[in-house]
Structure 1
Amino acid sequence: MGHAFEEVNEVELAGVTPDQVWDAIATGPGIDSWFMGRNEVEPGAAIRGAFGGYEPAHPITGWEPGKHLAYGGEPAPDGRKLAYEFLIEGRDHGSTVLRMVVSGFLPGDDWHDEFEAMTAGGAMFWRTLVEYLTHFAGRTARPVTVWAPRSATGRRCGPACTPSSAARAPATRWTWTARGASSTSPTPRPSASARRTRSTASSRASPAT
């Protein structure tokens, strides 16, 4: 057995243009400004990332600048897959609607913990993207990730922490830059001015193929 899932997020961004949204989701510096690690975009071909030893490469399956971006979805040998789709729509009075769809499949009977972690991480990055576009559109960020020891239970290590009982866990901060000025911030908090206007999630269990 396994778990197929789809999550949809949508927001209307006042004062943000479709081009600014496109730059945030379809360029390396733009993705760096709200996602993890370092990212590179080969237009119309692939999106590649690097975060520690994790270096995913996703083929681009939809490429319409300023309107539509889709990538990923290729199944692994065990059936695991993950796909992203972004839809951009300019509105009157200078606002833009961004819709993000994340879908995929987790194989096996022990998918629950992975799905929970994936959902929590996805929600954090969505909030960061919305806050970035609302307050920092047009700027770029330098992500700085610090790996700190944590205990086997995920708690911060105290005096009794030893290498055998700790794993290195990341904490990421972004430094926003524009015209020579900069400011540093951890993951932004959601605000009323950048609210998520619609969020739905549906999932189903299905056998691995």
Structure 2
Amino acid sequence: MSEERRSIELEVEVPGTVEEVWRAVATGPGISSWYVPHTVEERAGGSAMASFGPGPEMQIPGRVAVWEPPRRICFDGGEGVDGLTFEWTVEPRGDDRCAVRLVNSGFGQGGEWDAQYDGMVEGWKLFMSNLRLHMEHFAGQTAASMLPTAMGAGSLDEVWTALTASLGIPSAPSVGERIEAQASGVPALAGAVVDAASHRIALLVDRPAPGTGFVAVESYGEHAGASVWLYLYGANGAEAAERDGPLWQQWLADALGSGQ
């Protein structure tokens, strides 16, 4: 008897026509502008690739299992691969607004699955918030991203306190407050807080270029991972992402004492 499987089901409402929102959730340039860099072969059975970092082990292949533009797309690991699936549906909600629904299924039972499930719930909340920001402020544009993450020892609270103190930003800012990284040697980062919760801040960025981003700490077993992920637009954004990405990675590692 196969073990029971679980799923994550989340929804966010965003501005845009069905066709505009479809581009954001079903094409490589669209997904890359609020999640992680993607390539998508836009057809049923097409290949897909998600890049979670520079190493070959961070390139995660997939398949377009369902392709029903402009309403439904499903990604999985490929024919006969027993893993997670990611289904996105787009439904119109009045004039130029849509509901985007995610069903991330295939989670099993047990401690390891529990940790992965809980972590992905929190991660998807961040990314879906970022999708909303992308559609509100940069629809139709493609972001250049930098996605540095480093591990720190200690609890979520301890690593969050260390991260925000090192950046020189408040640990619990108010929505609408403008914050700016003040630490010596830190790359440029400033913007308005659009969402703030325990261990994460979402930003509408104005430095080093217009864009979106978040500062977050997530649990990874006995450690916590700290991220400063930025999605920047225009020529200045692409230049800043290429220049500052490695600097942020090194700065995070130094700030959390995790080395290279």
Q: Do they superpose with TM above 0.5? A: yes
RMSD: 3.3
1:151-198: CA deviation from partner (whole Å, max 9, x where unpaired): 33363589xxxxxxx998543111023xx67599xxxxxxxxxxxxxx
TM alignment of 1:104-119, pairs within 5 A: 104-106=106-108, 108-119=110-121
Residue 128 of structure 2: aligned partner: 126
1:92 to 1:127, Cα distance in 2 relative to 1, 3 A:
closer
Quote the offset at 1:96 in angstroms.
2.3
Are positions 1:48 and 2:105 aligned together? no
3-state SS of paired residue (1:138)? coil
Greater share of strand:
1
Residue 58 (structure 1) aligned to one of 58, 62, 78: 62
Residue 97 of structure 1: aligned partner: 99
Residue 171 (structure 1) aligned to one of 206, 214, 228: 228
Distance (whole Å) between structure 1 residues aligned to residue 127 and residue 51 of structure 2: 16
3-state SS of paired residue (1:56)? strand
Q: How many percent of aligned residue pairs carry the same amino acid?
A: 28
1:176 to 1:92, Cα distance in 2 relative to 1, 3 A:
same
Quote the offset at 1:61 in angstroms.
1.3
1:18 to 1:47, Cα distance in 2 relative to 1, 3 A:
same
Quote the offset at 1:17 in angstroms.
1.0
Distance (whole Å) between structure 2 residues aligned to residue 129 and residue 168 of structure 1: 22
Distance (whole Å) between structure 2 residues aligned to residue 143 and residue 172 of structure 1: 7
Greater share of helix:
2
3-state SS of paired residue (1:23)? helix
Residue 25 of structure 1: aligned partner: 25
Is the CA contact (8 Å cut-off) linking 2:7 and 2:107 kept in structure 1? no
Distance (whole Å) between structure 2 residues aligned to residue 75 and residue 169 of structure 1: 34
Give the total of aligned pairs. 171
1:3 to 1:136, Cα distance in 2 relative to 1, 3 A:
farther
1:17 to 1:72, Cα distance in 2 relative to 1, 3 A:
same
Distance (whole Å) between structure 2 residues aligned to residue 11 and residue 168 of structure 1: 25
Quote the offset at 1:130 in angstroms.
1.8
2:100 partner letter: L
Distance (whole Å) between structure 1 residues aligned to residue 225 and residue 124 of structure 2: 21
Residue 67 (structure 1) aligned to one of 66, 71, 74: 71
Residue 7 of structure 1: aligned partner: 8
3-state SS of paired residue (1:129)? helix
Distance (whole Å) between structure 2 residues aligned to residue 91 and residue 63 of structure 1: 21
Quote the offset at 1:19 in angstroms.
1.4
Gaps of 5+ in 1: 159-165, 185-209
Distance (whole Å) between structure 2 residues aligned to residue 147 and residue 9 of structure 1: 24
Distance (whole Å) between structure 2 residues aligned to residue 91 and residue 152 of structure 1: 44
TM-score, normalised to structure 2, is: 0.55
1:74 to 1:5, Cα distance in 2 relative to 1, 3 A:
farther
1:104 partner letter: G
TM alignment of 1:187-202, pairs within 5 A: none
TM-score, normalised to structure 1, is: 0.67
3-state SS of paired residue (2:154)? coil
Distance (whole Å) between structure 2 residues aligned to residue 169 and residue 92 of structure 1: 38
1:34-71: CA deviation from partner (whole Å, max 9, x where unpaired): 102x2101112122111223111111111122111111
